[in-house]
Amino acid sequence: KMQFHRGNLLLVLLAIQALISVHSFSPQLSLRPRHQVFRTKEAVICQLKAQGQESGKSLQNERDISSRKAFIAKSALTTGSALISFADYARADGPEAVKDASKDTLVMKTTAGTMTFEFWPEVAPKTVENFKKLANAGYFDGQAFHRIIKGFVIQGGDPNSKVGYGPSGTLEGADVNAVRKWGTGGPGDNIKAEFNPRKHEFGVLSMARSQDPDSAGSQFFVCLGALSSLDNKYTTFGTLVSGAEVLRKLGEAKTVRGDYPAERQGIESVRVGAPQ
């Protein structure tokens, strides 16, 4: 019996020792792989998040680039067939400028109403002189705004725009060959660029041109928003002092492909007025 008990005791002791060994090593053997897997999952999750963020950035960049390309393709202020492109514009309307009583004004009567502008001879003397000469000679009378881009600009000053629309004043029955010439006309001579610090903002008058900076003639545009990317690239020479509602109305005109107004937006007369 004593031997039996001793044997049983030995077995019990061996079993206890085995349990102690398992208890002392099992936590390490079990926790280490679980810990490693947990860390791996964390790493994978972080990596996926990073990839997702980068993918999101790439997608956004692609969208931005696509939008910018579409805008550049659409938004070029040109005279003739040359293309000048630019991007990033704001559509926020601005207030009319406060009129300087010492400066000449430009009164532009259109089919949408009358707009009055103030010249900036202190920053663009030759441009102002040229525009006043053309205006007082009746050069702009009977023309039309041949190009309108909502939230961007209205463009006029091309003598070719006097003809082209159909009998109803729309593009129905239009003279296609005449319409194709819109944006290519001018007075026959050009003036040198006078880029200056005045910003392209709502209501600002600026000269259109071709790729040559010194190619401005008679075509001009009026800004429908803040267009900072045009600053120091086109000659600003005046600003709107009355008739903001008329400018906005013109800027909202329905257009067709090529930014041509579907219905004629006429320039009835343009004259220089003395300081009041």
Which residues have C-beta within 8 Å of that of residue 115, sequence separation ≥ 6? 107, 108, 222, 240, 242, 243, 246, 247
- Quick one: pLDDT at residue 54? 43
- Quick one: pLDDT at residue 16? 54
* 171 within 8 A of 260, measured Cβ to Cβ: yes
Work out the number of other CB atoms within 10 angstroms of the CB of residue 260: 22
Q: Which of 61-65, 157-161, 270-274 has the lowest mean pLDDT?
A: 61-65
Q: Does the pLDDT of residue 266 top 80, yes or no?
A: yes
Secondary element (H or E) of residue 32: helix 2-74
Work out the number of other CB atoms within 10 angstroms of the CB of residue 83: 12
Enumerate the β-bridge partners of residue 216. Answer: 191
Q: Does the pLDDT of residue 148 top 90, yes or no?
A: yes
Sign of the four-CA dihedral 112, 113, 118, 124 = positive
215-219 mean pLDDT: 97
Q: Does the pLDDT of residue 124 top 80, yes or no?
A: yes
* 217 within 8 A of 190, measured Cβ to Cβ: yes
